[in-house]
A and B are shown apart, each in its own frame.
Chain A
Amino acid sequence: MYSSQLLKGTFQTIILKVLSEHKRMYGYEITQKVKALSNNEIVVTEGSLYPILHKMDEMGWVTAERVTIGNRTRRYYSLTRSGSNSLKLKIDEFERFVNTMKDIFNPSPA
């Protein structure tokens, strides 16, 4: 499992990415999905997930939809157009970041 220090800046990208591959997801589902995809290496805690979801809702990257499930209401989140644009930028940025990191760790002979 990676340290939370390391993961902090990537949660947003991870959540956006997971959402982009599904029509709509609810919070619990997202945490489970991330866990499965990362082989239990990355755990998005509730404490990180929900503030991020609500913030993205606020920014218009995701929209929430209320559905009654049994005796409670479930909020399904789905990606908006501006959300998928942001995701592209984020992935681009992250790939550049990884490349830069590689450059730093394996400097090519000058």
Chain B
Amino acid sequence: MELTKNQVQLIEQDLIKRGIHYPPLKEDLLDHICTEVETKMTEGIKFQDAHQKALSLFLPKELIHTHTKTMQTLTSFSLLKSYAQTAYRSILRRKTNSFINVFGLTISIAICILIFIFIRYESSYDQQHPEPNIYRLTSKTTSDNGQTENTAFTGAPWGPALVEEFPELLDAGRIMKYRLDVLVSNKSSNTSFYESDLIWGDQQLLNFFKIDLIVGDQKNALSQPNTVVISEEIAKKYFGNTDPIGKVLTYNSEVDLVVSGVMRTMPEKMHFEADLICSFSTLKSFWQIIDNWTIRYYHTYLKIQEDAEVAKIEARFPDFFDRHIGNGWNQRRSAFLQRVTDIHLTTGTSNELKPGTNKQYLYILGSVAIIILFLACANFINLNIARSLKRTKEVGIRKVMGGLRTDLVHQFVLESGLMTLLSLILSLGLAQLLLPFFNQLLGKKLTIFGLFDPLLIVYILLIAITVSLLAGLYPAIKASSVGTILALKGKSTTKFSKNSVGDGLMFFQFVICAILIISIGIIKQQQHYLLAKDLGYSQEQLLMISTNNIATKELPLVKNQLLSLPEVTNVSITSHKLAGDQPYYSSYIFSGSGMSNDTLGLGRLHIDEDFIDTYDLKLIAGRDYNPLISTDTTSFLVNEKTLEMLGVTPGQALDMTIEYLTQGENGRYPRAGRIIGVLANFHLESMHQEIDGLVMDIQPARAHFIACKLLDKGVNALAISKIEAEVSTFAPGTAIDHFFMEDLYGNLYSNEKKLDILISIASSVAIIIAFMGLFGLVSQLAAYKKSEIGLRKVLGANALGIVFMFSYKYVKIILVSLLVAFPLGYHWMNNWLLNYPYRIDFPHFTMLATGLFLIGISILTIGLVVRKAANANPITVLRED
């Protein structure tokens, strides 16, 4: 006669009550007693009596004594092994729960690992340099309206003079990098290329920074004029496999440089990069402005005495500049020192040699990682609480608390430990799998070696231990601390629905989900707005070509040749690209009859007669350039914003003249002319910058970009090849550098795109994890309330009604969490939007949509679970109970 499941369970619970919890022994004794009972029952004794009889074969306390004796024979290792086995079996048995926990944890730990590697990478820039105490001199300008602008640019004579006068400043090194690509050639083999990573630098750079020479004298390679240190790639490119040392490279067809060293490719984690470093002292021979104290175009690095106080040094700067520059230089400008190691994570400094990373961005990523980890943990804890409460009822009614506590604690902690360990291993694999996508997304070259970071290992272990303990210990202790009397009275039933910690965790999950959804909605809308906003000019079909070393006097000829192509409708030559470029700045004196002179610092753009037509700009007053009017070569166009700053009407503006100092072929000279036209505002820099006042005139010496308006998309390829052929006749032997404006413009917002993609992924993961948690919890609740559902059905409730009975509580939690999420989301996202001078109005419907979305998905999830329970035949369910 075989015992039923319930009878076996009864005997097992009795054993637990008697303190038998070592699983193998429990199995032995259970089987033993069951066999005994079965034997008795075949003799016709009822189960209850047979059970009593079987137990009476044991002396009082003999069972617990057996347990104690068995435990004494065991080593702690086999004890642990046996618990792990039980946990493993339990994990396999409860598939849904285990899957939810392991899945959530795996994803969240993998995300944490990736983000950790990224943050570590970004915060370890410039750590490897041989000199630890290097600072960069940075200067600050305060404009009329009180805005300050930091720039990495300093004057060329500043560094050496500072070292001479300040005993704490031990040495100075400078860098100059021209803003456009420069021509480098090897005359003997007739090879030339445009190089984007050529800098001019003092010998000190080789002393300060991690720039290792493979060949050449590390201490002297750049100390003489007309020398250059090149990377291995450059050596290959210009000299093939021959020894480059002593060979000559020519800069811009005029300056010869002798190769004095070959350097290893510079480390990626540095705030500047270079393939060629030409000695700074060479500049003296052709760069006339090198001695000018006020022109800021150079980067200065200072080696500072170890015990010197930076603030004290900075305090003496005003006096220094007063003596050397005077003229109230200090009124608007100041200089300060910045640790080289801080450069990469400091944003808001213009003219950096390499774009930095916004610290804010790292904080956001870090928070996202923690939030996702928290969500996964919350599921873990919640599901375990639900489980433990269920067991409290089972066992509690039989007044059995002693054995339960240790049993539950052991079991839960080991189970969650095992699951965490499993997730950890899976997440390492997942992280490795995701790394290529992550790299692509962030434009980095992170390697899996980041995984061996000792700090990461410590963090991962800490996370694993915390999660195991939180998810295991807390629910077990909570369950076992429910009083026997309460448990007897069935109070655990109410506890299940009034599980405040569980509800609290769920509440937080929904708050986080709601905020993430609101954020993603707003980021997407703002991004769409930026890309769709009218720029004030047309980028369509605009092909840009760098003029590079086409001689200035040949440009009109180039322009005519291009115009003669049938695929090209318009051509205009400018000093800047009209997307994401920073214009020059100059001081302009405006004068008009009947008004006092007004001086304004404004953006300066050099254009030609075809600018308005090619770019499809709107002229709101006056006229375009006319090649037939000879004075037009010194006439000006201004934008609407300039009028606003001047406080004049278009009519008045057309009566005004402008004067400023400009740099021509023969040095600086004043230029004056009339304003002939006013253009509607258009965006020259990215949408992150507000449109500034802008003055335009014709200056052939500053012609850097040729814009060709192409006729039709269908013939673009043909047009490009024809244009290349045409242009290369003017610049033989060099590759033609061309790009479409629309592509360039799209790239300006790559940061928003990255943020958008990252937050989208994070939110999706967060939402999936949260709803899986809800699914698991409701599943347990439904199983727990099987008989209640059955009863209600017998009493006439339909499936829909039962779904609503279950949803009610969770919808309530969601509503409360929305109340918290809305103001927080509004506050944060509104602040984020304020960073943009051009932005959407806060879209309130996003909030509403978020709320509806969350409630809808929850009811759907609950419906999915409860439908099954609600459709079960109530009679079978009730009989089982």
Which residues of A come within 8 Å of B, CB atoms?
A: 26-28, 45-47, 50-51, 53-55, 57-58, 64, 66, 69-75
Q: Are B8 and A54 interface neighbours, CB within 8 A?
A: no
Alpha-carbon distance A52/B385, docked complex (angstroms): 38
Q: Are B59 and A47 interface neighbours, CB within 8 A?
A: yes
Q: Are B4 and A71 interface neighbours, CB within 8 A?
A: yes
Alpha-carbon distance A75/B31, docked complex (angstroms): 8
In B52-85, which residues have CB < 8 Å from any A CB? Answer: 58-59, 62, 65-66, 69-70, 72-75, 78
Beyond A47-B65, A71-B3, A72-B8, whether A54 also contacts B29 by CB under 8 A is no
Alpha-carbon distance A73/B8, docked complex (angstroms): 10
> Who on chain B is nearest to A70 by CB?
B2
Most A-side CB within 10 Å, residue of B2, B25, B69, B73: B73
Q: Which residues of A contact B2 (CB under 8 A)?
A: 70-71
Q: Which residues of B contact A26 (CB under 8 A)?
A: 31
CB distance from A69 to the nearest CB of B (A): 7
> Who on chain B is nearest to A29 by CB?
B35
In order of increasing CB-CB distance, the 4 nearest A-B pairs are A55-B73, A51-B69, A71-B8, A28-B35
Is B27 on the interface with A (CB-CB < 8 A)? yes
Total interface residues on B, CB under 8 Å, equals: 29
Q: Are B25 and A50 interface neighbours, CB within 8 A?
A: yes
Beyond A28-B32, A28-B36, A55-B73, whether A73 also contacts B66 by CB under 8 A is no
Q: Are A70 and B3 interface neighbours, CB within 8 A?
A: yes
> Who on chain A is nearest to B22 by CB?
A54
Q: Are B31 and A73 interface neighbours, CB within 8 A?
A: yes
Chain B window 340-377, contacts with chain A (Cβ cutoff 8 Å), 1 for yes, 0 for no = 00000000000000000000000000000000000000
Q: Are A27 and B69 interface neighbours, CB within 8 A?
A: no
Main SS class of interface, B: helix
Q: Are B28 and A27 interface neighbours, CB within 8 A?
A: yes
> Who on chain B is nearest to A69 by CB?
B31
30 A-B contacts, Cβ less than 8 Å apart?
A: A28-B32, A45-B62, A46-B62, A46-B66, A47-B62, A47-B65, A47-B66, A50-B28, A50-B29, A51-B73, A54-B24, A54-B25, A55-B70, A55-B74, A57-B24, A58-B73, A58-B75, A58-B78, A64-B24, A66-B27, A69-B31, A71-B2, A71-B4, A71-B5, A71-B8, A72-B31, A73-B27, A75-B24, A75-B27, A75-B28
Q: Which residues of A contact B65 (CB under 8 A)?
A: 47
Q: Which residues of A contact B5 (CB under 8 A)?
A: 71
Alpha-carbon distance A13/B614, docked complex (angstroms): 105
A-B contact count (CB 8 A): 71
Q: Are B73 and A54 interface neighbours, CB within 8 A?
A: yes
Q: Are B74 and A54 interface neighbours, CB within 8 A?
A: yes
Beyond A46-B62, A47-B62, A75-B24, whether A58 also contacts B74 by CB under 8 A is yes
Alpha-carbon distance A46/B34, docked complex (angstroms): 13
Is B678 on the interface with A (CB-CB < 8 A)? no
Q: Are A46 and B24 interface neighbours, CB within 8 A?
A: no
Is B573 on the interface with A (CB-CB < 8 A)? no
CB distance from A97 to the nearest CB of B (A): 24
Q: Which residues of A contact B30 (CB under 8 A)?
A: 72-73
Give me 18 other A-B pairs in contact (C-beta within 8 A), A64-B24, A71-B5 excluded.
A26-B31, A27-B28, A28-B36, A47-B58, A47-B59, A50-B28, A50-B66, A51-B66, A53-B28, A54-B24, A58-B74, A58-B75, A66-B27, A71-B2, A72-B30, A73-B27, A73-B31, A74-B31
Alpha-carbon distance A54/B31, docked complex (angstroms): 15
CB distance from A18 to the nearest CB of B (A): 16
Alpha-carbon distance A71/B10, docked complex (angstroms): 12
Most A-side CB within 10 Å, residue of B24, B28, B59: B28
Alpha-carbon distance A28/B34, docked complex (angstroms): 10
Alpha-carbon distance A100/B69, docked complex (angstroms): 32
Q: Which residues of B contact A27 (CB under 8 A)?
A: 28, 31-32
Q: Which residues of B contact A70 (CB under 8 A)?
A: 2-3, 8
Alpha-carbon distance A110/B73, docked complex (angstroms): 46
CB distance from B144 to the nearest CB of A (A): 85
Q: Which residues of A contact B29 (CB under 8 A)?
A: 46, 50
Q: Which residues of A contact B8 (CB under 8 A)?
A: 70-72
Alpha-carbon distance A51/B101, docked complex (angstroms): 37
